[in-house]
Amino acid sequence: MKPRNLHTKIFLDSGIPTETQEMLQLLTFLDGQTTNPSLMAKNPVLSGKKFSKSELYDTYQKIATEISGLLPQGSVSLEVYADKDTSYEVMLEEGRKLNQWIPNAHIKLPITKVGLQVARTLVDEGVNVNMTLCFTQDQAAAVYQATTGAKRGQVYVSPFIGRLEDIGFSGMSLVFNIEQMYREEGDGHVMILAASIRSLEHLMLCLSRNIDIITAGSGVYKRWADQGCIVPDATYQHISDREAIPYTKDLLQNPSVDIQHNLTDTGLQRFADDWNNLLTL
Ligand code: G3P
């Protein structure tokens, strides 16, 4: 049963519908699911095989439809294919296409110059977006600025905790900085979706601070269920040997124009490579 003191939405990070079913059985609830090209590529229907472009998109659509059907009240994030050269027009067309597949989509777009332009257009068309590969407070401020006027729930920003930890920084400190910035300076239209969760500790910290949404793989939720799905209170300590990222004040009023981050660039390329590996040449 959903814990009564749980204020964070719980999403599954997976491209495999049987995992959705398994988590629904284990937790008895799920508020949504996030996918990305790498997670989709791990689906047994796709993994290790080769497809024409149209076959690949047909299969992607079938998987998305299946997940959506399992979570009719939830949100399902579907990511556009993008690499560093993908144009505004191509990304926009793909975002519109994915959005027609299912009624409860959040279209995942990278936090790049083009991704933010596409987000502006899609939000104006009433489409939900999930801005992914977020590694800096500047990027989160840029998402906020690019989507002003959106309804709460229409826009998610996905800070990647684990990948920052991989390079020695506290990913949780970024999540807390974004939360503080939106709470103190914003109007609440962007929701934080904590992603790249690698441990029960990350999950506990997000729950204890009432972060809007968390997405994690089934392994983390199994460990959480083993502990009775407890929700720690705000006194839960954040102890990390990684370097804390300092908070920048007044960033929403004075956003930086530089939103580039190496992990965004390499993350985009990794997603593109995993997707392209499924294509016949
Ligand atoms: O939700 C984003 C996630 O799938 C990325 O996780 O472990 O590849 O950094 P990871």
In a domain, 121, yes or no: yes
pLDDT per position as a tens digit, 166-220: 999 999 999 999 999 999 999 999 999 999 999 999 999 999 999 999 999 999 9
> Which residues are identified as catalytic?
108
- pLDDT surpasses 90 at 281: no
In a domain, 28, yes or no: yes
The domain total for the chain is 1
Cα–Cα distances in angstroms (integers) from residue 133 to residues 26, 108, 125, 270, in the given order: 29, 10, 23, 11
Q: Give the pLDDT score at 1.
A: 82
In a domain, 267, yes or no: no
For residue 215, the CA-to-ligand 1 centroid distance in Å is 9
Neighbours of 134 (CB within 10 A): 31
Nearest CA to ligand 1 atom 5: 196
Start-to-end C-alpha separation, the chain: 48
Residue range 89-106: mean pLDDT, rounded: 98
Residue 256 banded pLDDT, cuts 50, 70, 90: confident
In a domain, 276, yes or no: no
Q: Give the pLDDT score at 225.
A: 97
DSSP code of 224? H
- Report d(CA 83, CA 160) in Å as an integer: 18
160 lines ligand 1 (CB under 6 A): yes
Nearest CA to ligand 1 atom 3: 196
In a domain, 150, yes or no: yes
202 lines ligand 1 (CB under 6 A): no
Nearest CA to ligand 1 atom 10: 196
Q: What are phi and psi of 156, to 5 degrees?
A: -115, 150
The DSSP H or E segment spanning 171 is helix 171-185
| Residue 230 identity (one-letter amino acid) | I
Q: Give the pLDDT score at 240.
A: 87
Q: Give the pLDDT score at 257.
A: 83
For residue 62, the CA-to-ligand 1 centroid distance in Å is 22
Any idea what the CATH number is for the domain that residue 31 is in? 3.20.20.70
224 lines ligand 1 (CB under 6 A): no
36 lines ligand 1 (CB under 6 A): yes
DSSP code of 48? T
In a domain, 112, yes or no: yes
In a domain, 62, yes or no: yes
Supply 171's token pair. 């990913």
Contact 16, 43 (CB under 8 A): yes
In a domain, 212, yes or no: yes
82: containing domain: 9-237
